[in-house]
Amino acid sequence: MGLKKSMRWLVMSCMALLSGCATNSLFSPYPSQVAEIKQQIAVGDFATARKALEKKSLGPDRMLYLMERGRIAQIAGDTDASIQDFKQVLTEFEAKEEAAKISATGAAGKTGAVLLNENAIPYAGSAYERIFVHSFQALNYLWADNLEAAGVEARRANLEQQLALQANEDEVERATAQESAEETMILRQNPSYRRKFSSLTRLSSKVKNAIQNSYSFYLSGLIYEINGEYNDAYIDYKKALEIYPANHYLRQDVVRLARMLGMEEDLERFGQAEVREGMARPAKDEGKLVVLYEQGYVPEKHEVNIVVDLRGVPNNLVFPTYFDRASPNRPLVVGLSGRRLGETETIAEPAAMAARALEEQLAGMIVRQGLRAIAREQLKDNQMNSTFGILAGIGQLLLNRADLRSWLTLPAEVQLLDATVSAGKQRLTLRNGVQSKAITVDVRPGRITIVHVIAVSGQLHARTITI
Amino acid sequence: MLMKKNGAVIGLTLLTGSLLLLQGCSNKVAYQDATEVETTTIDFGSTDLQQIAAKMVDSLLTFPPIVEVTRERRPVMFVDRIKNKTTEHIDTESITDTITTRLLRSGKFRFVDMTKVADVREQLAFQNRGGMVNRNSAAQIGRQIGAEYMMYGNLSSIVKKSGDVKDVYYKFTLKVMHLESGIIEWSDEKEIRKTREKSLFGR
């Protein structure tokens, strides 16, 4: 009797401890937390949206909340606040990277997660998210008139892509080399698990991998070009073109710089008409206009029940997945001084990259969820009356939720337009079929004018800068 | 009733126990020698800055043609910026500050500060045209000394990572140009390579 009572106390104090960190996604699924914030963005109430994230950005999932907050500040056009938030996010990424392989804090989170729920592990971020943070930060620094810092972030984005690709290869090798018997068994018993995630694989098949980001390459090319480092710019434009070979703005940029730098061999892969068009040197009274169009939000993860065979017994386990039902992306029609300039073309699909990143984790997730289910069963069988048994029971009944966390204010798709136009203050019109907006741009001879357009919740947010 | 109390006591003990544990990791502040080798992280740090400055100043002051030029007079130099081409936000002005301070302290060179031109212009205008300052004591416009040499450079880096090992290579290049002739009188570079291996255990 006494023992049971004290046990109840123990459970209750544990619950109290857990609720102490209710700033994470243990009790309220992450997408529904962000849904509220998106509503505030839709009505233009950025201050409330940022405030809602303030307390959460001190908790264990601070990296995630700070990414959202930095992006919200960017949508609102508050460059300084965005820089501060993204700076913190990058510090978090670095700290996670520097952390010891076996850490006390990490282990505490993970043991909790074996019994309870993956949402208890502090959010560690994905490589594709980190690359976007670097790229967005580079844009922020351009608006803050700090070209050198923009260059640092652009190079950093490139470096992280390279390191992440390398790490991915290492991971595959390592995983195949040291899989434990139990892990191999779980995967061997479920050979067709990929088929059960058909909408996820459909969405992820749009990109070759989750890491290579042609938007990021284009931005670093642009920043190199602004700095007069044409050779570096050429290399990055070429990398961007490799990922989206159909984007004709990228093709023109590559042709233009190949011509300028005398890379005659590289020109051979382009058609004659294209080379002629790209060859046209900007006249003395012309400048370059770049429209970066980021539209919508990346989809949120959903929870699905998937039957997984564990030791021959079918088990119903929960997993996160993406549904491929994003609204079709529309190009932005750009007009200048009443004349139609052209339509933006796709340069990155963060929605597909997010899906790809999740798909790459599928095998690991199945193994982890499988091991967890086995561990829980054992605890329940052996120690039904012990504290662990009760905790495990609570875990399974109440808290067995899939990890639905991911950066949700990222755009679903990014598109690009760049053109050489005549200098002067002009009226630029932006139409995406639903909304339209007109702004004044100041194109100066030989300079680059960037227009950053973000379309979210039925609104177009645009800002412009001439460098 | 008694049982309930017992339970409360256990719960309380648990809570205070965990609080005590948390207390155990409070911060500690201590002074250190500023020139001591610092290896807190692999990022660009104080030791890198000091090594670069020391090497550059030594190299410049012992370079025979420079020794020759500075034997009888103290040429005037100005510092252009050091271009940061790395993947870190590094305050390159801080590196040039250390270098200029050491060169000044050597008594071989004098410097003009291009970052203060606007302030100086304002002050001179105030002294000469403000009507508040005695003409006899006002510093006159147009009597500053032009720089003979320009100092400029580059900081670049290569970062590699394999498994748990991260390798960073920095290369700092500094040049001194004779402004009138456009000849580069001196140039040197400092290379730094650092590696970091992830520890197995830690916080």
Q: Helix or strand or coil: residue B185?
A: strand
Can you tell me the distance from the alpha carbon of A283 to that of A78, in angstroms, rounded to the nearest whole number? 35
Per-residue model confidence as pLDDT tens digits over B145-173 = 999 999 999 999 999 888 788 899 999 99
Lowest mean pLDDT among A322-331, B79-88, B111-120, B125-134: A322-331
Cα dihedral angle (A36, A39, A44, A50), rounded to 10 degrees?
20
DSSP state of B140: P
Chain-chain contact of A155 with B87 (C-beta, under 8 angstroms): yes
Give the CATH number for residue A101. Answer: 1.25.40.10
Q: How far is CA A134 from CA A66, A99, A127, A454, B20, in A?
A: 14, 21, 11, 17, 39
Considering chain B, what percentage of its residues have pLDDT values greater than 70? 86
Mean pLDDT across chain B, nearest whole number?
85
Q: How many domains, chain A?
A: 1
Q: Do B200 and A12 touch (CB under 8 A)?
A: no
Select from B18, B87, B203 the Cβ nearest to the Cβ of A159: B87
Phi and psi for B193 in degrees, rounded to 5?
-130, 130
> What local confidence, expressed as pLDDT, does residue A19 receive?
42
Q: Is residue B18 part of a domain?
A: no
Does B179 reside within a domain? Answer: yes
Range of the domain at A207: 2-466
Is B157 inside any structural domain?
yes
| Strands ordered across the beta sheet of A339-343 | A339-343, A333-336, A424-431, A436-443
Strand segments, DSSP code E, in A86-204 are: 102-103
The counts of H helices and E strands in chain A are: 18, 12
Which among A10, A102, A167 is the nearest to B10, CB-wise?
A10
Q: Residues of B with CB below 8 A from A16's CB?
A: 15
Residue A395 has what pLDDT? 53
Q: Which of B86, B88, B161 to mutate to test the interface with A (most CBs of A within 10 A)?
A: B161
Instruction: Please give the tally of structural domains in chain B.
Output: 1
Mutate to test the interface with B, among A18, A101, A131, A141 (most CBs of B within 10 A): A101
Q: Which of A290, A284, A318 has its CA nearest to residue A403?
A: A318
What residues in B contact A1, CB-CB < 8 Å? 3
The pLDDT tens digits along chain A (467 residues) read 444 555 555 554 444 444 444 445 666 788 888 888 888 888 888 888 888 888 788 888 888 999 999 999 999 999 999 999 999 999 989 888 877 666 555 555 555 555 556 777 888 888 999 999 999 999 999 999 999 999 999 999 999 998 888 888 777 676 666 666 777 777 777 777 777 888 888 888 888 888 889 999 999 999 999 988 899 999 999 999 999 998 989 998 998 888 888 887 888 877 777 777 665 666 778 889 999 999 989 999 988 888 888 877 888 888 889 887 666 778 899 998 888 999 999 999 999 999 999 988 888 888 878 877 777 777 666 655 556 555 555 555 455 778 889 999 999 999 999 998 989 899 999 998 888 899 999 999 989 999 999 998 888 899 999 98
Tell me if B198 and A159 make a contact (CB, 8 A cut-off). no
Do A323 and A337 touch, CB atoms closer than 8 A?
no
**What residue numbers bound the domain in which B191 lies?**
41-116+146-197
